[in-house]
Structure 1
Amino acid sequence: MADRKKWMRYLLYAVELLLLFVLQETPGLLPFIMGAKPMLVLAAALTIAMVEECVPAMAFGIFAGLLADFGGGTPMGYHALVFAVLCFFLSGLCGTRIQIQLFTSVLMGLWSCAAAVLLDWLVLYVAQGYSLAAYALSSAYLPIYFYTLLTIPVCYGLQALIRRFFSRF
């Protein structure tokens, strides 16, 4: 019975990532803040990693990263690799050292989301040799970071609802 609950939970996580990807990529559905849209799949992958074990967290990081690569026009596998490593590390940290609640999930989101967005900026902008790197960071990447950070409590609430739903049975 426990295996069945676990696989049902994983299925709901996958459906959640797909729905958030559709929300993220649908034009005109989410408002732009300072010209940026949030990376909902990143916020969901990070919050899933906070409540799951390392290997499933990494798998959902890969899935979310592939969705981000598909929607963002980046080379296939880039975000999958970054999200997988980040989710694996975050899951290991949260599973052994930190009790995850809303406040701590936001604190974990502060640095993990920053790591993902800054790495995007470094690899996809600075390393490509584009000029005005500081301007790109302040006008494009930081608004994405803050907007994504605002969605972490909502994604954490979704993960808490899913876990609470399956703990009843």
Structure 2
Amino acid sequence: MKPEQKKQIGKWVCYALYLLLLFLLQVTPGVFPAIFGVKPVFLLPAVICAAMFEGEFRGSILAVVAGLLWDTSRLRPFGYSAILLLIFACLCGLLIVYFMRNNVLTALLYCFGGFLVYELIDWLIYFVPYSNGDAIQALYQVVLPRIVYSMLFVPLFYWLSSKLAKRLAVEPQ
């Protein structure tokens, strides 16, 4: 096996372990404190930030893996999160490549948009039809605090993604 191939395999193993660690932090009870009764979401901002550095194709692969991991812990159809994260990662990767600069402000914008779309779709599909009139209360007490709490970690994930991308860069010889 060529050294270039070994480095490429090592890169994907590092990303897989990174996503697995974030998944475990996100779903394990008691690891992160629940503020206002909600826990933060780590996979969505991690995938968006990784797509900003790795591009739309590699970012989409990471998004599908992260989405499938996330789907194993939720009472949602298998592939639900994977499809939404795939769309977000591909879109963010393409926007960085063709239109916008890669900086922390852009990451905050993309992650906020991703959280807003993901959480509102989730709220419309899974809270509104089964809420017995408490859908607006769920929006204010669950959805919006989860978005705000999760957004606090975006700069950290942006920094981690930049370090991972630079450290694991594979240059063709």
TM-score (norm 1): 0.89
Give the secondary-structure state (helix, strand or coil) at the position aligned to 1:27.
Answer: coil
Taking only the aligned residue pairs, the percentage that are identical comes to 30
Is this contact kept in 1: 2:8–2:170, CA < 8 A?
no
Q: Which amino acid aligns with 1:30?
A: F
Structure-2 change in CA distance of 1:92 and 1:153 (3 Å): same
Shift of 1:80: 0.9
Shift of 1:118: 1.4
Shift of 1:32: 0.7
Of the candidates 76, 79, 88, which is equivalent to residue 78 of structure 2? 76
Structure-2 change in CA distance of 1:164 and 1:21 (3 Å): same
Shift of 1:72: 2.2
Q: Distance in 1 between matches of 2:35 and 2:25?
A: 16
1:25 corresponds to: 27
Is this contact kept in 2: 1:51–1:95, CA < 8 A?
no
Is this contact kept in 2: 1:21–1:41, CA < 8 A?
yes
1:135 corresponds to: 137
Is this contact kept in 1: 2:7–2:170, CA < 8 A?
no
1:55 corresponds to: 57
Shift of 1:103: 2.2
Q: Which amino acid aligns with 1:42?
A: L
1:89 corresponds to: 91
* Structure 1 unaligned spans of 5+: none
CA RMSD of aligned residues (A): 2.0
Structure-2 change in CA distance of 1:168 and 1:50 (3 Å): closer
Q: Distance in 2 between matches of 1:59 and 1:94?
A: 17
Is this contact kept in 2: 1:61–1:84, CA < 8 A?
yes
Is this contact kept in 2: 1:63–1:80, CA < 8 A?
yes
Aligned pairs for 1:105-116 (under 5 A) are 105-116=107-118
1:157 corresponds to: 159
Q: Distance in 1 between matches of 2:58 and 2:170?
A: 22
Q: Distance in 2 between matches of 1:73 and 1:168?
A: 38
1:10 corresponds to: 12
TM-score (norm 2): 0.87
Give the secondary-structure state (helix, strand or coil) at the position aligned to 1:14.
Answer: helix
Q: Specify which structure has the higher proportion of helix.
A: 1
Shift of 1:29: 0.9
* Structure 2 unaligned spans of 5+: none
Shift of 1:3: 5.4
Q: Which amino acid aligns with 2:168?
A: F
Of the candidates 38, 41, 52, which is equivalent to residue 39 of structure 1? 41
Q: Distance in 2 between matches of 1:57 and 1:154?
A: 18
Q: State which structure, 1 or 2, has the greater radius of gyration over its C-alpha atoms.
A: 2
